[in-house]
Copies of this chain bind each other. A is one copy, B any other.
Amino acid sequence: MSLPTQPYKGTRDFYPEDKRIQKYMFAKLRQVVESFGYQEYDAPLLEPFEVYAAKSGDELVNEQLYSFEDRGGRKVAIRPEMTPSVSRMVAGRRQELAYPLRLYSIPNLWRYERPQRGRLREHWQLNVDLFGIDDISADEEIIQMADSILKALGADSHEYVIKVNSRKLLKRLDEHINLSQDKARQLYRIADKKNKMTDEQFKQEIFEAGLDASVDFFFAATIDKLPAPLNESEEAENLEGLIARLNKVGVNAVFDPGIVRGFDYYTDIIFEVYDFEGANNRSMFGGGRYDGLVGLFGVEPVPTVGFGMGDVTLQNFLVTHKLLPELPSETDVTAILIGDVYDQAQGALSGLRESGVNIAVDASDRKLDSKIKHAVKSGTRYALFIGESELSSGKLKLRDLTKGHEDELGLKEIINKFAKHP
């Protein structure tokens, strides 16, 4: 009986043409976040189970976590998110690290989900975190950076909107309308779905839960239209200031009282980036402030703002808005050997490679036609013909396989044409 060729359910194989798309996206992400002074870190794929049990939220831990006992009886989990790992790392060097501390990573994460559009069991996620700043400038930088990434990938401001809210403001609401902690949780769960429901559906759920007093809050179009005294609270003022500053630097940010975020650890400003695709209005990714997480690891807390941006939703966004460029093969040239010149050709091939030309060799004894066909199929744009006479004359035929055009070039000319690091 033979083994199946499909990958594990809800995951992807990345053939070179798929991997190229991911590499293109990740290179842009790295470029933008490094331009803001963020430095890359990484953490192990497995973490002790308790790291997530603490603060990641019940649904994730009880239903979605990949956890098991290792051969030594330790309960471990495959990371479903990166925030607990980076918080652990910062706690581990709380005193030695320099603040503000800017960190990013692009880990793969695992959740046991029913696979569907935008949701897979394995995905990669850019994680960006700014540690050590307790004022609104940190929130501004993080949201501005999320915006810069989308723009660097070619998106226009009118193709998405960044919706901002505040957990502290939500807490004020709870106090104002006198909600128990349980009732408040229920309210957040309903609010979290607001952007997927009609206004009527939302109101009905709110009324059925006996949360009528919260309706005015969730239908406030702007901060100044929030029910008094919330509209004059410090939290409202803060939020309004943040949005004004973001708008001033060209970020399409708006207040949305229905933004709640799933994780338990957020403490203040939270945001989500929405795709404006036709009638569709989908949350792509988000983040916020979580000042308490580093402190769970037994050190003095560190104020932190961050976000996570997944590769699946990002790629869907780029495809929908036609923002993915043509990505050519990394291989510049297929060298087609004519006759038995494998050994003689090594000098020329090494010289080209060391000068930064990417060359695959076809030394098979197939017919010339068949070799050319395979070079085309492999996605390489150019073929370079190397036989006895070419090696002795030092002039090689380079054929553009997309146009059929052919040039006779010396090694130096070939290097100049392709070299990425001259």
Query: Are B297 and A45 touching (Cβ within 8 A)?
Result: no
Least CB distance, A151 to chain B, in whole angstroms:
9
Query: Are B3 and A51 touching (Cβ within 8 A)?
Result: yes
Query: Are A249 and B346 touching (Cβ within 8 A)?
Result: yes
Q: What chain B residues lie within 8 Å of A88 (beta carbons)?
A: 3, 5, 7
Segment of A34-42, A170-178, A220-228 in the binding face: A34-42
Complex: A9 Cα to B44 Cα, angstroms: 10
For A332, give the chain B residue with the smallest CB separation: B37
Given A39-B330, A249-B350, A71 and B297 contact (CB-CB distance below 8 Å)? no
Query: Are B331 and A47 touching (Cβ within 8 A)?
Result: no
Query: Are A103 and B350 touching (Cβ within 8 A)?
Result: no
Q: What chain B residues lie within 8 Å of A56 (beta carbons)?
A: none
Q: Does residue A213 face the partner (Cβ distance < 8 Å to B)?
A: no
Complex: A374 Cα to B51 Cα, angstroms: 30
For A32, give the chain B residue with the smallest CB separation: B353
Query: Are B42 and A89 touching (Cβ within 8 A)?
Result: no
Each complex incorporates copies of this chain amounting to 2
Query: Are B354 and A298 touching (Cβ within 8 A)?
Result: no
Q: What chain B residues lie within 8 Å of A42 (beta carbons)?
A: 13-14, 19, 22
For A102, give the chain B residue with the smallest CB separation: B360
Q: Does residue A268 face the partner (Cβ distance < 8 Å to B)?
A: no
Q: Does residue A6 face the partner (Cβ distance < 8 Å to B)?
A: yes
Query: Are B245 and A39 touching (Cβ within 8 A)?
Result: no
Given A54-B3, A354-B35, A41 and B15 contact (CB-CB distance below 8 Å)? yes
Given A40-B19, A298-B3, A354-B35, A100 and B362 contact (CB-CB distance below 8 Å)? yes
Q: Does residue A209 face the partner (Cβ distance < 8 Å to B)?
A: no
Q: What chain B residues lie within 8 Å of A356 (beta carbons)?
A: 31, 35
Q: Does residue A296 face the partner (Cβ distance < 8 Å to B)?
A: yes
Least CB distance, A253 to chain B, in whole angstroms:
14
Mark each residue of chain A from 17 to 51: 1 if its CB lies under 8 Å from any CB of chain B, else 0.
00110110000000110111111111111111011
Q: What chain B residues lie within 8 Å of A280 (beta carbons)?
A: none
Query: Are B8 and A89 touching (Cβ within 8 A)?
Result: no
Q: Does residue A16 face the partner (Cβ distance < 8 Å to B)?
A: yes
Complex: A359 Cα to B36 Cα, angstroms: 5
Given A48-B4, A103-B16, A377-B98, A141 and B37 contact (CB-CB distance below 8 Å)? no
Query: Are A37 and B89 touching (Cβ within 8 A)?
Result: no
Given A2-B297, A334-B37, A44 and B8 contact (CB-CB distance below 8 Å)? yes
Q: Does residue A208 face the partner (Cβ distance < 8 Å to B)?
A: no
Mark each residue of chain A from 66 to 106: 1 if its CB lies under 8 Å from any CB of chain B, else 0.
10111110101010000000001101110000111111000
Q: Does residue A157 face the partner (Cβ distance < 8 Å to B)?
A: no
Which 10 A-B residue pairings sit nearest by Cβ, starting from the closest? Answer: A37-B360, A2-B298, A11-B44, A5-B92, A68-B68, A98-B377, A16-B39, A14-B42, A35-B353, A98-B378
